Amino acid sequence: MEKFLEYIELVNGKINDFAWGPVMLVLLVGTGIFLSARTGFVQVRKFGYIMKNTIGSLFKKKDKKDHGNNLSPFQAVSTALAGTVGTGNIAGVTGAIFTGGVGAVFWMWVSAFFGMCTKYAEITLAIRYRETDEKGQNHGGPMYYITKGLGKNWKWLAVIFAVFGGLASFGIGNIAQSSEISGALGSLFGLKPLVAGIILAVLVAIVIIGNVKRVGQVTSLLVPFMSVFYIICGIVVIAMRITEIPGVFGMIFKEAFSFRAIGGGIFGYVITQAMRQGFARGVFSNEAGLGSAPIAHAASSTDEPCEQAMWGVFEVFIDTIIICTITAFAVILSGLYTGSLDDYTSKGAAAAKAFNSILPGTVGGIVIEISLLFFALSTILGWFYYGQTCFAYLTKRNRVVDYIYKIVFVAVCVIGAVGSGKLMWDISDTLNGLMAIPNLIALLLLSSVVAKETKNYFSKNTHKLK
């Protein structure tokens, strides 16, 4: 059995090297560049309008529209952000800087810049090609726009996406997050892993017993709170070293284009590592191109594709440009990144020490633990819906399969909290990356639809742009 697991680990490692390797990362960012060109760089031209009609709309008088069994536009983006804003925003970014140097932050920004348009395109297609069931609930995502947009002959590609997405929901969306929650509860309250797992399972079960409406209601409360909490704490950290910020920017840009070798390595090693880590962590964090977020946005009650798609631009902006940057600045300002990750029990522990080195006492560590707790919990809820939708597509919304999925998903919360689940985490990481392949193919082939929808929408709303 041990040899079999070693073989599985070896095979998965090879596949993972491709799924998150240079070729795939270039394809992910390249797709964003291509879509940006097709839409006339909508994320730049209409940025002010997009911010005004997304985050700005939350400060306007709320409408009393009945959304039925679907989500409001904000609940949809909250569900998507729940699955997107996770431990990668803290642990992932920290690991990228330790491994790829401070220059990785610049390439993370680059991936986010083009990722805004990628996610905009995904959501546009998700709304354009979604389906509505007999209860009036909307369902959509890559598997739907692959089948309906490219035709039934492409259904095999949609099935591949749904299989990868459904399986990844147990690993990246559950086990990896449950493990972080267990560690956070143990650190904050001294709870044993099993107790933490049971508490988590009960909380998740209470939420997912309802439909997507319940998930949307919970995430619309959880996501703003956790995001604002982390952003405020991060701003305090940065403010305490505010005079060093110009130097941090200088280091980031300088190291991003450094072609020097390290330790006798090949010439250009630094920039290669910085690009790889920056692109990988950027994509892994905001999930632009993976095809997960459009599943949540498709459940929105919005009828206009581009109107909901604007939330995708905001989503990447808040996730990577704001939250990930805060983590990156805290790590760089601490100066700890010059050491080795092997000196810490985890990437999260490294981030906690970085915050502790700036904030008084152990306040920084508590901030990180609380943030990891809420980030991981929100990710579990968001990925539950992704997995549920993927399996519903594969089984034509079979109720028995849906019940089984919910039971297994809740049980996995306990498994993830008790065990390390490293192999499962690694396999799911691979599945997560492989999800992008069918989605990127669809985005490239349906780019003309995105361009047309964008042109029509902003032509109709010219008066609003003035």
- 324-371 pLDDT, tens digit each: 999 999 999 988 888 887 777 777 788 888 888 888 878 888 888 888
Q: pTM score > 0.75 for this model?
A: yes
Return the CATH class of domain 68-461: mainly alpha
Tell whether the model's pLDDT for residue 114 goes beyond 90.
yes
The alpha carbon of residue 263 and the mean position of all alpha carbons in its chain are separated, in whole angstroms, by 34
Tell whether the model's pLDDT for residue 217 goes beyond 80.
no
* Lowest pLDDT segment from 281-285, 309-313, 334-338: 281-285
**Residue 462, pLDDT score:** 62
Band the pLDDT of 265: cuts 50, 70, 90.
Answer: very low
In this prediction, residues 304-331 reach a mean pLDDT of 92
- 7-43 pLDDT, tens digit each: 788 888 888 788 777 788 788 889 999 999 999 999 9
HEC states along the chain?
CHHHHHHHHHHHHHHHHHHCCHHHHHHHHHHHHHHHHHCCCHHHHCHHHHHHCCCHHHHCCCCCCCCCCCECHHHHHHHHHHHHCCHHHCHHHHHHHHHHCCCHHHHHHHHHHHHHHHHHHHHHHHHHCCEECCCCCEECCHHHHHHHHHCHHHHHHHHHHHHHHHHHHHHHHHHHHHHHHHHHHHHHHCCCHHHHHHHHHHHHHHHHCCCHHHHHHHHHHHHHHHHHHHHHHHHHHHHCCHHHHHHHHHHHHHHHCCCCCCCCCCCCHHHHHHHHHHHHHHHHHHCCCCCCHHHHHCCECCCCHHHHHHHHHHHHHHHHHHHHHHHHHHHHHHCHHHCCHHHCCCHHHHHHHHHHCCCCCCHHHHHHHHHHHHHHHHHHHHHHHHHHHHHHHHHCCCHHHHHHHHHHHHHHHHHHHHCCCHHHHHHHHHHHHHCHHHHHHHHHHCHHHHHHHHHHHHHHCHHHHC
More confident residue, 268 or 49: 49
**Residue 445, pLDDT score:** 96
Tell whether the model's pLDDT for residue 212 goes beyond 80.
no
In this prediction, residues 307-335 reach a mean pLDDT of 91
**Residue 60, pLDDT score:** 63
**Residue 365, pLDDT score:** 83
Tell whether the model's pLDDT for residue 267 goes beyond 60.
no
Tell whether the model's pLDDT for residue 61 goes beyond 70.
no
- 128-185 pLDDT, tens digit each: 999 988 888 888 999 999 999 999 899 999 999 999 999 888 887 888 788 878 888 8
Task: Give the amino acid at 341.
Answer: L
Q: Which two tokens stand for residue 434?
A: 């492989």
In this prediction, residues 292-315 reach a mean pLDDT of 90
More confident residue, 280 or 327: 327
Distance, CA of 443 to CA of 293 (rounded, Å): 14
Tell whether the model's pLDDT for residue 306 goes beyond 70.
yes
Q: Which two tokens stand for residue 84?
A: 């997107």
Average pLDDT, the chain: 84
Task: Give the amino acid at 247.
Answer: G
Q: Is 344 left (phi over 0), alpha (psi -120 to 50) or beta?
A: beta
Distance, CA of 243 to CA of 335 (rounded, Å): 15
* % of the chain with per-residue pLDDT over 90: 34
Domain boundaries, the chain: 68-461
Band the pLDDT of 264: cuts 50, 70, 90.
Answer: very low
